[in-house]
Chains A and B, each alone.
Chain A
Amino acid sequence: MKAPAFAYVKPSTLDAVFELLERHGEGAKLLAGGQSLIPSLNMRLSAPELLIDITGLREYAGIHASVDSVRIGALTTHAEIERSAEIGKHLPLVARAVSHIAHPAIRNRGTLGGSLALADPAAEYPACAVALEATIVVSGRNGERRIKAEQFFKGLFETDLKPGEVVTAAEFPVAGRNDKSVFLELSRRRGDYAIIGLAAHNSRFVFFGAGTKPVLAGNAASKTSLQEARAALATDLDPPADLYNSSATKLHLAGVLLERAWNTLSTSH
């Protein structure tokens, strides 16, 4: 299939982006890496009037580590995150997650901001952001807002972004000396959407592919034994079936991941 006709513009300032968003409203879509948008255009699942290519806003790309947090610009690609020594050092959970995102060619184009703004429930970054209690930074006509990841993801492909707002960065707290994290993902092929995945940081167990958004398994985490935790998982998750896995299968697999993460977190140093 060929994409339906659309207009294309590549502004050089964020203000120009805001102006275009205001003028075109729902008819405009932001184009960053195109990881999800381009396939949806080419399958005619989406037919925007205007694509606003924001990849020219280079000041919103890049990784900056400070004493207590790492700020990742929205236009930073997965490949840049994968190669970053700072991410490896300060955000081991993110470093482990990124290689699960699609394939190298796609990681060269896809961006952190695109993934966060799309809020695909099977995606890796939203779960990591919730597990790490990251802050999502968004900008609009009326200035900047800072939103806790847990509040940012509201539902299936639904975020706290207001019309006219753009994700500009995410800030992740630097992992401390005693922090422990585990990233686990089950997919039949490397690089596919997760059947189920788990981003765990200390006692925050966040599942992806498990609901309409990243799911923090609070009940399971509150238990003192693994057995109780696995039993409690059913009260935290009600994963939707996919083409190949029933809800029950996914819940079972979530329990397996919980067990593996639990064992790793309680034994590793």
Chain B
Amino acid sequence: MGKAELPLHAPGTRVDKGYIGQSVPRPNAKRLLQGRGAFVDDLRFPRLAHVAFFRSPHAHARIKRLDFGNALKSAGVIDVFDGRAVAEYCTPWVGVLAHLKGIKSPPQHAIAIERACWQGEAVAAVVAESRTQAEDAVDLIDADWEELPAVLDMDEALSGRCVIHPELGDNICFKREHDTGGVDEAFAKADLVVEETYRFGRHTGVCLEGRSILADYNAAEHTLTVHHSTQAPHMMQDVFSRHLGIPEANVRVIARDVGGSFGIKVHVYPDEMATAALSVMLRRPVKFVADRLESFLTDIHAREHKVTIRLACSKDGEILAFDLDDLSAIGPYSVYPRTSGIEGNQVVNLTGGPYKHQKYRAKLNVVFTNKNVTCQYRAVGHPIAVALTEGIVDLAAQNLKMDPAEFRRRNLIPDDAYPYTFPSGVKFEKLSHHQCLDQLLGLMNYASLRKEQADLRGRNIFRGIGLAAMIEVTNPSPAFYGVGGARISAQDGATLRLEPTGMVTVMCSVTEQGQGTEGIFAQIAASAVGVSMDKVRVITGDTGVTPYGGGTWASRGAGIGGEAVLLAGRALLSNILDVASKVLNLEKETLDIENNAIVDKLTQEKKMPLEELGRITYFRPDILPLDFQAELTVTRHYTPREYAFTFTNGIQASLVEVDTDTGFVKLLKHWCVEDSGTVINPMLVDEQLRGGVAEGIGAALYEECLYSPEGQLLNGNMADYVVPMSGEIPDIVCAHIETPTRQSQLGAKGVGEAGTAGAPGAVMNAINDALAPLGARVTAMPFTPERILRALGRIA
């Protein structure tokens, strides 16, 4: 079978050709390991200036006076600017979307004008010959502040007693209510109603490489080149163009190597916009690299929800309805351009997701507070929806004295029920909950773990097993952002070019963040065209080079970017065979490409190396027929449109041991069975899952941005903000069910966020399972030793 006849992994077919489904090492890994990455901070430019920001020490304060006199005299200082000066060059933005009805947020400036609304908000910029000199001068800025009342608690914010932005009338950024009807009736007739309130700590994604930007304005051309550690170069091209008043064609955004992003680097940050504006103002390159302390103060935070959920079920364990009330605090601004309403919106969309109940009601309030802004971080809303659903499901099972796995089996949507519309309105193409559950229980040896658990309880060893089934949004269509008016591309493109030497160059609009995107594009391109991996070069992250596209977010790189590469690869194969047909004077249909050569499709007899075809095409086209023009550069695009999202599903399990004297939780093992459709590179997929689980474990046990009652971030450093390290992470066993999406030829769904989505709920359920014989439960993440000791009544 030739490559032209792929679907590479369609239902019922076996992938026995090419690189799809193989754990091929990433071509770019060696370069990174040898320290030859090109991150923004590695770049050297003549006349490069450095910016450091003077940031508000207060959570909420009026700027009465800023005196730059001493700062301007400091060694190496080029200039110092306040918000008004920068606003002359950079217009403010408003983080709202039309399809989030009623969402509101005030205009936000690159540098705050008149008022700072969180501790860490930039209020002045110092540009100097070096970062050290800029920091020295920041210390010399003299500021007078009038402190304003700070709203820090989300209930206080909701009450509206003190309104942060008086022009908005209240502190509510966004609210939503969803009701299928019949919820009260379902609760009235239920045999069992369980209710619980869960709290999710505010935390953040911690990237190895901090946010980095180097903006280089060229006044002679009126062009702006931005080297940016970003997930979305084209989105940023549009944003820089609009807000700096430079034609889009004159803005080029280059994202070479990016040291992790996790959703942190897909937002518009005021200090980054200011850096670009400063480059225009000073007509020279200006660089800003957020240091670790700035990252904690200003990288988007996420979560911070308080949710009360109720579940109604019958005595046989049939779930009848969920009823949900979510309150979430997002800081003083809705973040541009994705808004800060999406996380709460996802909680409403996804809660109860794996189950077949028909009645559902949800209420959401998203409020402003005087803390750092929150926005979309890996798995956006999913960890909350999954933990809520799975926490209350376990509580119901416990009340019914039913095994939690059995309870889930009775309620999971049957594998033959698709396509399926969930009561929140989202649609599922094809999921495999029961297959995943069966595989998980076998993989973890569930029955014997339960027996071991019971035996150990007799010896005062408290082990717990927690399950978390989930659904996950991947491959988003324009329904995510585009319909709301955001200029965020849901489509992506790939250009493939056969070089004269027989090499294939791939240029794709989806970006590499360190997760291996370029590696899978090389696999797909090589497989589609019929060349070996060493013949493929991949270029991403440059608006001046690649087709237009959305970049990396919402688990879309493989499913959307990968499909574009596949389609372009097939088109290139076809075009190459057109040339071969002319050169060899053979019917195109009898030819194929195998192992870097034109071959006879039937006999696999080698006809001509691709290198020779390249030579003829580019240097001796005179021997080709006059009416024929070779086209060895092709571009294809892909947008998922049939479903708003290509949902994936999976289930995780956690095994823990709780030390009931110290409140410490020891993670013994974690399992993850995921159906992300076609698996392109099993090693990369498993490591995506494991990395995601590690971040989910961080949320469950360790990570929280702590603020003082005055709104001061208390733990904004790597010693006090506790990110789990390899020593804290248990073995994570991964397995897969593969239900390819039929919307694409490739069949791949996303997998980047699944681990993070499911792990917190699984760990929470495991802890509560361990504590159950002691009559204790915990529901506020992260589950610190103190919180567990308090639940156990060991401390007051």
Taking beta carbons and an 8 Å cutoff, which residues of A are in contact with B?
1-5, 43-44, 186, 188-193, 195, 243-246, 248-249, 252-253, 256, 259
Contacts and interface: CB of A to CB of B under 8 A. Distances in A.
Contacts of B664: 186, 188
B70 interface: no
Given A190-B728, A252-B795, 6 more contacts: A43-B293, A188-B702, A191-B727, A246-B786, A246-B795, A259-B661
Contacts of B291: 1
B706 interface: yes
Interface in B718-739: 719-720, 722, 724-725, 727-728
Contacts of A191: 725, 727
Contacts of B728: 189-190
Nearest to A251: B795
B789 A249 contact: yes
Contacts of A252: 789, 794-795
25 contacts: A1-B135, A1-B291, A4-B136, A43-B717, A188-B701, A188-B722, A188-B784, A189-B724, A189-B725, A189-B727, A189-B728, A190-B725, A190-B727, A190-B728, A191-B727, A245-B785, A246-B786, A246-B795, A249-B785, A249-B789, A249-B795, A252-B794, A253-B662, A253-B785, A256-B662
A260 B135 CA distance: 49
A245 B794 CA distance: 13
A44 B715 contact: no
Interface residues of B, number: 30
A189 B661 contact: no
Contact of B132 (A2, A43, A189, A195): A2
Contact of B135 (A44, A244, A246): A44
A43 B297 CA distance: 14
Given A189-B728, A252-B794, A245 B786 contact: yes
B43 interface: no
Interface string B114-148: 00000000000000000110011001000000000
Main secondary structure of the interface of A (DSSP, over half): loop
Given A189-B728, A248-B796, A2 B789 contact: no
B727 to A, nearest CB: 4
Given A186-B664, A189-B725, A248 B795 contact: yes
B714 interface: yes
A5 B132 CA distance: 9
Nearest to A42: B291
B549 to A, nearest CB: 36
B541 to A, nearest CB: 28
Given A43-B293, A189-B725, A189-B728, A244 B784 contact: yes
Interface in B539-566: none
Nearest to B715: A243
Nearest to A188: B722
Interface string B769-793: 0000000000000001110010000
Interface string B660-671: 011010000000
Nearest to A249: B786
Nearest to A253: B662
Nearest to A241: B786
Contacts of A189: 702, 722, 724-725, 727-728
Interface in B65-107: none
Contacts of B662: 186, 253, 256
A58 B139 CA distance: 38
Contact of B131 (A2, A4, A188, A243): A2
Nearest to B786: A249
Contacts of A5: 132, 136
Contacts of A248: 795-796
Nearest to B727: A190
B492 to A, nearest CB: 38
Contact of A243 (B706, B727, B785): B706
Nearest to A242: B720
A258 to B, nearest CB: 11
A241 B661 CA distance: 19
A5 B135 CA distance: 11
A244 B131 CA distance: 34
A5 B131 CA distance: 12
Contacts of A4: 132, 136
Nearest to A255: B661
Most chain-A CB neighbours within 10 Å: which of B139, B661, B727? B661
Contacts of B702: 188-189
B661 A256 contact: yes
A245 B785 CA distance: 8
Contacts of B724: 189
Given A189-B727, A248-B796, A252-B794, A243 B720 contact: yes
A263 B233 CA distance: 61
Contact of B722 (A2, A192, A249, A259): A192
Contacts of A249: 785-786, 789, 795
A4 B796 CA distance: 45
A253 B660 CA distance: 11
A144 B719 CA distance: 36
A3 B706 CA distance: 26
B274 to A, nearest CB: 18
B174 to A, nearest CB: 31
Contacts of B714: 243
Contacts of B661: 256, 259
B512 to A, nearest CB: 28
Most chain-A CB neighbours within 10 Å: which of B719, B728, B795? B795
A256 B702 CA distance: 22
Given A192-B719, A246-B786, A256-B662, A2 B796 contact: no
A253 to B, nearest CB: 6
A3 B133 CA distance: 10
A2 B662 CA distance: 39
Interface string B376-398: 00000000000000000000000
B479 to A, nearest CB: 41
A243 B782 CA distance: 13
Nearest to B724: A189
Contacts of B786: 244-246, 249
B784 to A, nearest CB: 5
Contacts of B785: 186, 188, 195, 244-245, 249, 253
Nearest to B661: A256
A198 to B, nearest CB: 13
Nearest to B133: A2
A165 B710 CA distance: 41
Contacts of B720: 243
B703 to A, nearest CB: 11
Contacts of B706: 243
Contacts of B717: 43
Nearest to B702: A188
A2 B706 CA distance: 25
B417 to A, nearest CB: 43
A43 B718 CA distance: 12
